[in-house]
Amino acid sequence: MSTDAGRSTAHDGDPSELLSAYLDDELTVDERALVDEALRASPPLRRELDELRATQTMLRALPLVEPESGRLPSIAADAAVPDDADSATGAEAPPGDAPVVSLDRHRRRRTFVGAAIGAVAAALLVVAGVGATLDPMPIAPSVEEFAAVHVGTSGTIGAFDAMGGETMDDPAVLPSLGDGLDRMAVYARDELVHTVYSDGTHDVSVFHEPGVVDWEALPADGEMIVEGPVKTWTGVRDETVVAITERGDLMVVIVADAEMGTDAAMEKTMEAVEMVPPVSIERGLWDRLSDAPRNLIDRI
Amino acid sequence: MTRHETRLSESAPVADDVVPTWDDIARTHRRFMYSVAYRLCGNHTEAEDVVQTALVRVERGLAGYRPGNLEGWLARITTNVFLDEVRRRRRRPTEALPDDAERVLVGAPAADEAATADLPDYIQAALGRLSEDHRAALVLCDVIGMSYPEIAEALDVPVGTVRSRIHRGRSAMREMLLPHLEVDQ
């Protein structure tokens, strides 16, 4: 109990105003005696104290909060705007403050707000990366979100945003998937890299992120393919075929347009799975993570 | 050391008499900082932004950090980032809403909706209905376990103000949570 005689006593002599501090053991001796006396005389006050204590107990029992797991950016919905919005809302807009290097213009089947994928992914991934450890993290990927990101970005690639080009040196970013599916754009923020390939008609997205797949968390409606040590989950979502696998220290997710035909998309997806080379992250996750706030500091 | 240090920390806390490195802090106290931020903001997106900014301030402030109550210091930084953001938004009431509608301004009228949308938790939703000042004081007290003098130092207000804010905040929570409270009859 506190004996701080100098503590504020601005409670107008109303014991009910002291109940929280009473619970927190933050009253002076005199104030505590005042509340004790009032409690003995007033059942409603005791009731109020019990309710405040119960409230405090509930707050103290609040669980640990983690950043949302598998937080691959749910940026598709934010990134995509209706077709008729087109350039007016910034299909050409730079992604936030990040440097943008224009590559070849690509067809514009859908409008894409580049700013969203950059700025939102940055916000999400910098701190999502805080959750990284030196050991590969188990990731519970959201199949729906990967499919949505693919749908939201495909067909309108006009910008290349690679955080200083670092991703171009990443062996997991292939220049081509074959059959005319050439790399059209790479979006990278910290640990997540999204590469879009296109043959001019159909698109294939390859995402990779440090970590291992939490296989138990994947939807039951998919098919698990096991070839030697390589496991791959496949399924169909929102007009796309999705495959999830691992390569080295990376979780790799491949999404292909189902409009090329489900069988063809599945075939292309599995071909892409085969093509992604086994890689390890040369730089420690922590080094990468540390760079993000430090780069921010440098800019301030 | 705060009440919940062992519950919220990743691993063995940095010794109180050692100045930690930024890496130490981000590795071992990230969940702590995130939990503080989330309880204040009520949604993940804002909490992530707050933690990111707080980590920047931690890096800047480490040179002047004197070994002591590390998590109290981190909670103070995190809370002040949150409150600074609230004040910044208030200074610009006509600021256009962001394109991404989920990134609702902290303290803006729709903040409650964002909180409940991110976490269907009536306790968190009730916290989101408190004023930011009351919420900050209550989170530091009940969630983090800081003492009134520590909270007063963190928020740079008198202890009497802390006492008042905690009581107002807890009483409001009591009203909102009344149907859920377990009290002996």
Token pair for residue A46? Answer: 């005791």
Is the minimum CB–CB distance between A47 and chain B shorter than 8 Å?
A: yes
pLDDT at A195 over 50: yes
Is the minimum CB–CB distance between A1 and chain B shorter than 8 Å?
A: no
Compute the distance between CA of residue A197 and CA of residue A177 in angstroms, rounded to an integer.
7
Question: pLDDT per residue over B26-49, tens digit each?
Answer: 777 877 888 899 889 988 888 888
Element (H, E) at A63: none
Under 8 Å between Cβ of A222 and A216? no
Local structure of residue A219 (DSSP, 8 states): -
Q: Which of B144, B146, B138, B148 is nearest to B177 (CA)?
A: B138
| Highest mean pLDDT (candidates A141-155, A167-181, B122-136) | B122-136
**pLDDT band at residue A3, thresholds of 50, 70 and 90?**
very low
Q: Count residue pairs from A and B with Cβ separation < 8 A.
A: 134
Is the minimum CB–CB distance between A121 and chain B shorter than 8 Å?
A: no
**pLDDT band at residue A18, thresholds of 50, 70 and 90?**
very high
List C-alpha distances in Å: B124 to A56, B82, B128.
13, 16, 6
Under 8 Å between Cβ of A126 and B50? no
Element (H, E) at A155: none
**Quick check: A64 and B55 CB within 8 A?**
no
Nearest CB among A59, A127, A286 relative to B142 is that of A59
What's the gap in Å between the CA of B135 and the closest CA on chain A?
A: 11
Name the residue in chain B with its Cα closest to that of A55. B174
Is the minimum CB–CB distance between A258 and chain B shorter than 8 Å?
A: no
- Asked whether the CA dihedral A174, A99, B85, A76 is positive or negative, the reply is negative
Question: pLDDT per residue over A45-86, tens digit each?
Answer: 999 999 999 999 888 888 767 666 433 232 222 322 233 333
For A75, phi then psi, to 5°, come to -95, -5
Predicted confidence at residue A43, as pLDDT, reads 93
Residue B109: strand, helix, or coil: coil
Predicted confidence at residue A172, as pLDDT, reads 62
Under 8 Å between Cβ of B89 and B49? no
Is beta strand A212-213 parallel, antiparallel or unpaired with respect to A138-139? parallel
Residue B11: strand, helix, or coil: coil
**pLDDT band at residue A94, thresholds of 50, 70 and 90?**
very low
Is the minimum CB–CB distance between A78 and chain B shorter than 8 Å?
A: yes
Burial A77-111 (b: 16+ CB within 10 A, else e): bbbbbeeeeeeeebbebbbbebebeeeeebeeebb
